[in-house]
C-alpha cells in the first residue's frame, strides 16, 4: 500500500509539472510570436542536460555540452533583437521549456526505478485508486 501511495504522489507531481509546462507555454504565446517561442524551445536540450546532471546524476561527454553553446548564443542574439520581445512571454516560455525538460528527466528516473516495471504501471496505479 505504501508503494502505491508513493507511486501516486510521484505520478501526480510529474503530471503537475506537465500541466505547468502546457499552461506556461500557452501564456507565452499570448505575449510573444510563435516563431520566437519555437526558437526559445530550442534550448530544451540545455535544460535537459542540466537537469540530468542534478536529478539523475548522469553526465554526458564534453562534446554534448560544447554543442549547446551555439544554440545558446543563437537564442541570446534572437532574444536581443526580437522586435516583439515581451518579458512576461519570454519568462513563461523559458519556464515552460525548463518544465518540459524536467518532466523528461524525471520521467526517465521514475521509469528506471524498480517500482516502475513498465510505463503502464503509473496508469494502473490511478486505475486502482478510482
Scan for cell 561527454, then name that residue. 61
CA 39 to CA 43: how far, in whole Å? 8
Gap between the Cα atoms of 60 and 70, Å rounded? 17
pLDDT tens-digit series, residues 67-106: 999 988 988 898 888 899 999 999 999 999 999 999 999 9
pLDDT at site 112: 84
Structural element, H or E, at residue 128: helix 121-129
**How much is the pTM?**
0.80
- Between CA 62 and CA 44 the distance in angstroms is 18
pLDDT score, position 2: 55
pLDDT digits (tens, 9 = 90+) for 40-76: 999 999 999 999 999 988 888 899 889 999 988 988 8
Rounded CA-CA distance 121/50 in Å is 27
Amino acid at each position: 500500500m505504501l508503494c502505491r501511495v508513493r507511486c501516486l504522489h510521484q505520478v501526480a507531481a510529474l503530471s503537475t509539472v506537465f500541466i505547468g509546462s502546457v499552461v506556461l507555454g500557452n501564456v507565452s504565446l499570448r505575449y510573444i510570436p510563435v516563431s520566437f517561442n519555437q526558437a526559445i524551445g530550442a534550448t530544451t536540450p540545455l535544460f535537459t542536460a542540466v537537469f540530468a546532471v542534478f536529478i539523475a546524476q548522469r553526465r554526458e561527454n564534453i562534446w554534448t555540452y560544447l554543442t549547446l553553446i551555439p544554440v545558446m548564443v543563437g537564442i541570446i542574439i534572437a532574444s536581443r533583437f526580437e522586435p516583439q520581445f515581451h518579458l512576461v512571454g519570454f519568462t513563461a516560455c523559458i519556464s515552460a521549456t525548463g518544465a518540459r525538460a524536467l518532466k523528461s528527466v524525471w520521467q526517465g528516473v521514475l521509469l528506471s526505478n524498480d517500482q516502475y516495471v513498465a510505463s503502464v504501471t503509473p496508469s494502473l496505479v490511478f486505475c486502482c485508486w478510482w
